[in-house]
Amino acid sequence: MEQYAELVIVLNDLIRINTDRVRELKKRINDLEKNSEMGSFFKQLIKEGVKFNVQLLHEVQKKGGAVVNLAASNSGKIYNSWKELKDWLIQKKDLSILEKVQFDAKAALKVYKEALFAVASIPADTLDLIATQKALLREACEKIKTKLILNNPHSIFIDGNYFETRSGYRI
């Protein structure tokens, strides 16, 4: 366990982040107005977050670490940077539900990137797990971005790039 102490802290931070994302997604489902497609999408993201946590919990146990107490306030630096970034992003009050979900996903993706380099020596199986979850999170970010584009009447594509216009005419 001693050799994996730092790694267990990082894994527990990722568990906290996924738990926060799942909690926020559940809140967002309640905020939706009878949009069953969006509700189904959020439920899919919730299911994925729960799956991530099960995998991470198993990894913590394999490394001989104690599973995070989600009620405890002593968290690692990765989780703290996640909360700071998330709190800063959510300060924008004029965001749509989907934009808030996108900000959470982007912040989580950033923290997953940090997690890959947070510990000097990560066993290959754990590195593979974190990288796989990061890739799935990136896919989720892309799906959210696509939904944002499709739900915005002022968005257009030019040469594969997305642009949002306020007036419908300017880019």
DSSP 63-115: TTPPPP-TT-----HHHHHHHHHHHHHHT-TT--HHHHHHHHHHHHHHHHHHH
127 in a domain, yes or no? Answer: yes
CA dist 20 → 14, 46, 58, 162 (Å):
10, 10, 19, 29
- The pLDDT score that the predictor gives to residue 14 is 92
Model confidence at 112, in pLDDT bands (50, 70, 90)?
very high
171 in a domain, yes or no? Answer: no
Q: Is 1 within 8 Å of 63 (Cβ atoms)?
A: yes
169 in a domain, yes or no? Answer: no
d(CA 8, CA 59): 8
Domain of 64, in residue numbers:
2-164
Q: For residues 147 and 126, which has the higher predicted lDDT (pLDDT)? A: 126
Q: If you average pLDDT over every residue of the chain, what do you get? A: 79
63 in a domain, yes or no? Answer: yes
| CA 139-136-26 angle, 5° bins | 90
Question: Does the predicted model carry a pTM greater than 0.85?
Answer: no
170 in a domain, yes or no? Answer: no
- The pLDDT score that the predictor gives to residue 31 is 72
Q: What is the DSSP letter of 126?
A: H
Q: Look at the chain and report how many structural domains it folds into.
A: 1
- The pLDDT score that the predictor gives to residue 93 is 44
Q: What is the CATH number of the domain that holds 143?
A: 1.20.1260.10
- pLDDT tens digits for range 67-106: 876 655 455 566 666 666 666 665 544 457 788 888 888 8
Q: Is 67 within 8 Å of 12 (Cβ atoms)?
A: yes
Greatest mean pLDDT among 9-23, 130-144, 153-167 lies in 130-144
Model confidence at 136, in pLDDT bands (50, 70, 90)?
very high
d(CA 43, CA 37): 10
Average pLDDT estimate for 48-77: 82
Q: What is the DSSP letter of 164?
A: E
pLDDT of 33 higher than 60: yes
70 in a domain, yes or no? Answer: yes
The CA-based diameter of the chain, rounded to the nearest angstrom, is: 60
Average pLDDT estimate for 14-35: 83
Contacts of 134 (CB under 8 A, 6+ apart): 109, 112, 113, 116
Strand 155-158, strand 161-164: pairing: antiparallel
Average pLDDT estimate for 122-143: 94
- The pLDDT score that the predictor gives to residue 167 is 46
At residue 51, φ and ψ (nearest 5 deg) are -60, -45
